[in-house]
Amino acid sequence: MPIEVCVLASGSDGNATYIRSGSTAILIDAGLSLKELSRRLSLIDVEPRSLDAVAITHEHIDHVRSIGPLSRRHRVPVFTNDATARASTLRAQCADTLERFTTGSPFEVGRLRLRPFPVPHDAAETVGFSVSDGRVNVGVATDLGSVTLEVRDGLSNCDALVLESNHDESMLMEGPYPPFLKERVSGPHGHLSNAAAGALIESVFHGGLRYLVLAHISRINNVPSLTVKTARRALGRSGSDVLVSVGRHDMIGEIITM
């Protein structure tokens, strides 16, 4: 049974990644409005009510915008850790569809096994996910300011990676952001630069990696072609077969089937 991955939206306007194996379909984050999320899901023939879970990385609005309506209107179970639930309005928004996971402990949704691992970011308890059907592993880490052992471990042995490559360091520093924001974005709990993403890619690369989606790309402090170039350089010659794409804010990505 193939596993399908589609980045429905990526960036500070909203994030959502669709993953399916057989009859099990989940989202990692639901950061678009319900209307826009439903529209993008319809482009890949998915009804919101058919989703088995939404797993949340953290409580920032670009990751949880439609969690409430999605859970209330379509009865989609929402999986989160306790710190994220407490730091947000999730408990009020989706009282009876809220399920807890413990960061570091795998849990199962139908045919999929999700392992949430901690990532350094300025929210209550941000996680990345490693998602597996027992055959194929997909790693998702979209908001992280720095790379830890747990991040490397969470993203190792993946067939596909959805990985933040947020900004070019000099574009950020020379760009229009006020100093406090520059500091926040580039800090250890902010967002990953192209160079830092490149170093991470290099350290988790292995022969089985087939797809790399560069995610959460800043529209102000980055250029997709620059992001791809840095990632390509990190993949090197041994990674020349890896299909590299870019997660977009304005349209869905291609469906990756493995």
Nearer to Zn ion by Cβ, of 14 and 239: the residue is 14
Name the minimum Å distance from CB 111 to Zn ion: 28
C-alpha to C-alpha distance for 61 and 90, rounded to whole angstroms: 11
Nearer to Zn ion by Cβ, of 62 and 159: the residue is 62
Interface pick for Zn ion out of 29, 59, 62, 164 (rule CB under 5 A): 62
Nearer to Zn ion by Cβ, of 60 and 182: the residue is 60
Name the minimum Å distance from CB 128 to Zn ion: 12
Total of residues contacting Zn ion (CB under 5 A)? 3
Name the minimum Å distance from CB 79 to Zn ion: 18
Name the minimum Å distance from CB 14 to Zn ion: 9
What ranges in the chain are assigned the alpha helix state H?
A: 34-43, 61-64, 67-74, 82-86, 90-93, 149-154, 169-174, 179-186, 194-204, 224-235
Span near Zn ion by CB under 5 A; candidates 45-53, 59-67, 133-141, 149-157: 59-67
Span near Zn ion by CB under 5 A; candidates 39-47, 131-139, 143-151, 196-204: 143-151
Nearer to Zn ion by Cβ, of 62 and 133: the residue is 62
Span near Zn ion by CB under 5 A; candidates 64-72, 94-102, 139-147, 154-162: 139-147
Name the minimum Å distance from CB 7 to Zn ion: 13
Q: Report residue 62 as tokens.
A: 């670009």
Locate the DSSP E strands across 77-151.
Answer: 78-80, 98-100, 107-109, 112-118, 127-132, 137-141
- By the rule CB under 5 A, 143 interacts with Zn ion: yes
Name the minimum Å distance from CB 214 to Zn ion: 14
Counting Cα atoms < 13 Å in the Cβ hemisphere of 201 gives 35
C-alpha to C-alpha distance for 91 and 83, rounded to whole angstroms: 11
C-alpha to C-alpha distance for 27 and 22, rounded to whole angstroms: 14
Q: Which of residues 67-106 bind Zn ion (CB under 5 A)?
A: none
C-alpha to C-alpha distance for 147 and 46, rounded to whole angstroms: 34
38-44-257 Cα angle (round to 5): 135
Task: Please choose, from the candidates 250, 247, 249, the residue with its C-alpha nearest in 3D space to the C-alpha of residue 5.
Answer: 247
- By the rule CB under 5 A, 60 interacts with Zn ion: yes
C-alpha to C-alpha distance for 50 and 210, rounded to whole angstroms: 28
Contacting residues toward Zn ion, per CB under 5 A: 60, 62, 143
